[in-house]
Amino acid sequence: MFDRRSFLGRAAVAGVLLPAQFEAFAKSEGRATLPAGAPAGRDDEAYWSQVRRLFLIPKDVVYLNNGTVGSSPLPVINAVVNGLHETEQMMSPKSDDYPIWGYGPWREFREPLAGFLGTSVDELALLRNATEANSFIANGLEMQPGDEVLMSDEEHASGEQPWNLRAKRYGIVVRKFAMPTPPRSAAEILNRINDQITPRTRIIFTSHISTHSGVVLPVKEIAALARSKGILSAFDGAHAPGMLKVDIQDIGCDIYTGSLHKWLMTPKGCGFLHVREEVMPRIWNTIVTSGWDKPELKAERFMHIGSSNVPLLWGMRESVAFANQLGMDRVEQRHRRTISTRRCSSAAPRR
C-alpha cells in the first residue's frame, strides 16, 4: 500500500524515464554511447571498461549469467522508452500500428535483424523467444505417427519438450544421439548423428551451442548431412546470436530459432523463427488469427500471434545496431578468448 510520500518518490524516480531526461541522465554519467574507435589491441581492457559503463549492473558486480538473460545496455533501454513515448500517443493512422505487434509485417524491425542473421526478411518471423519458436516447429511440422525427430542428448527442455509433447499426443518418435564429452572433432559428432538416422527420420533438431556444455556444434556440416538424405535440419540458436557471428544462409539449414534477450541483450520477449521458404508450406501455424491461411505472407504469417508490445522491437533494433557497432567478429573473439583463459562452471542456463 502506497502512502503519498512513497508515491511521489516513485514518481520522481520514474521521471528520469522520459526520453530527453533519460538521455541527459545517461550522458551525464558518460554512458550514452559506445566509445569511439576500436580496441587498440587484442586485450584493450580500457575500451571494454568504457563499454561496461553502458550497463546498469552495479559497478561492484560481475555478472556471468547471460546464458539465462542478458542486461540491456542504456541505448537499448532508451530506445524502448522512446518507443513507448511515441506509440502511447495513439497517433498511428491505422489501428494495427498502435502499440501492439502480432498482426502486421513490421519490416522496419525485421530487416535489420535479417541482415544481422544472414537471412531474408521473408524467411524471418519475430516471436517472443526460442521456446515459442521451437514449439511452432514441433507442433506445426507435418509428420505421421512413427515419423522420427533426431536430437542430441544435451538439448534444453525448451527444445526437447515440444517434441515429447508431440510424441505423446500424436505418436511421433523422439530419437537421440549421444554427444561426445568432450567431442574430439566435428566428424565425431557427425558420425554419431549419421549412425542414428533411420528411414523414418524426418528432421534433425540440435542446438547451435549446447546449453549443457557450451560446445559449438558443426551446424553447417549437420545441415549438409541432413540435406544429402532428404531430411530437414533445424537448429536451436538460443545461445548463438550475440555470442558469435551467425549467418543462416551460409549454414544452409531449413529452420533456425533463437532468443535474443541473452547474448544480444535485447529487451526480454524478443525471439525469432527462420524458416526456409521452400519448407514453409510444410509447417502449420500453432497460434492462429487472421493471415494464417495466406501463403503469400511467407514468414510473416507465423508472427500473427495477437497483441504484444511494439516498443520492445525498438529496443531489439537498437540491440542489433549496438552489436554491429561493437563488431561481431570482435565480440566473438573476446568470447572465445575469455572462455579459453577463464574456465568456470555454472548451472545450466534457463530460457
pLDDT at position 94 is 77
Query: Which of 36-40, 200-204, 253-257 has the lowest average pLDDT?
Result: 36-40
**When comparing pLDDT for 14 and 61, which is higher?**
61
Mean pLDDT of the residues in the chain: 88
| DSSP symbol at 123 | G
pLDDT at position 345 is 37
The arrangement of strands across the sheet holding 201-207 comes to 124-127, 271-275, 255-259, 232-236, 201-207, 148-152, 173-177
Whether 147 contacts 203, CB under 8 Å: no
Judged against a pLDDT cut of 90, whether residue 78 lies above it is answered with yes
Query: Which of 16-20, 79-83, 137-141, 142-146 has the lowest average pLDDT?
Result: 16-20
**When comparing pLDDT for 13 and 144, which is higher?**
144
Dihedral angle computed from the Cα positions of residues 344, 47, 74 and 2, in that order, rounded to the nearest 10 degrees: 60
Where do the domains of the chain lie?
Answer: 107-307
Query: Which of 41-55, 89-103, 277-291, 330-344 has the lowest average pLDDT?
Result: 330-344
Judged against a pLDDT cut of 90, whether residue 315 lies above it is answered with yes
pLDDT at position 35 is 82
Cis peptide before 182 (omega within 30 of 0): yes
Q: Say whether 85 sits in a helix, a strand or coil.
A: helix
pLDDT at position 111 is 98
At 1, is the pLDDT very low, low, confident or very high (cuts 50, 70, 90)? very low
Percent of the chain surpassing pLDDT 70: 85
Tell which residue, 200, 197, 205, has the closest CA to residue 134.
205
pLDDT at position 43 is 64
Whether 300 contacts 247, CB under 8 Å: no
Distance between CA atoms of residues 284 and 301, nearest Å? 10
Judged against a pLDDT cut of 60, whether residue 349 lies above it is answered with no
By DSSP bridging, strand 148-152 and strand 124-127 are: unpaired
Tell which residue, 146, 124, 154, has the closest CA to residue 255.
124
Looking at residues 136-140, what average pLDDT do you find? 98
Give per-residue burial for 298-307: e unless 16+ CB within 10 Å, then b. Answer: bbbbbbbbee
**When comparing pLDDT for 26 and 155, which is higher?**
155
Looking at residues 201-218, what average pLDDT do you find? 96
For 107-210, strand residue ranges (E) read 124-127, 148-152, 173-177, 201-207
pLDDT at position 338 is 66
Residue pLDDT, tens place only, 29-53: 434 578 877 776 666 888 899 999 9
Q: What are phi and psi of 201, to 5 degrees?
A: -70, 125
Judged against a pLDDT cut of 70, whether residue 285 lies above it is answered with yes
pLDDT at position 337 is 79
pLDDT at position 25 is 47
Percent of the chain surpassing pLDDT 90: 74
For domain 107-307, give the CATH number.
Answer: 3.40.640.10
The C-alpha cell at 46 is: 580500457
Tell the burial category of 191 from Cβ atoms under 10 Å away from its Cβ (0-12, 13-18, 19+). Answer: middle
Distance between CA atoms of residues 67 and 286, nearest Å? 27
Looking at residues 16-28, what average pLDDT do you find? 47
pLDDT at position 187 is 97
**When comparing pLDDT for 193 and 97, which is higher?**
193
**Number of neighbouring beta carbons within 10 Å of residue 47:** 19
pLDDT at position 123 is 98
pLDDT at position 351 is 54
Judged against a pLDDT cut of 60, whether residue 150 lies above it is answered with yes
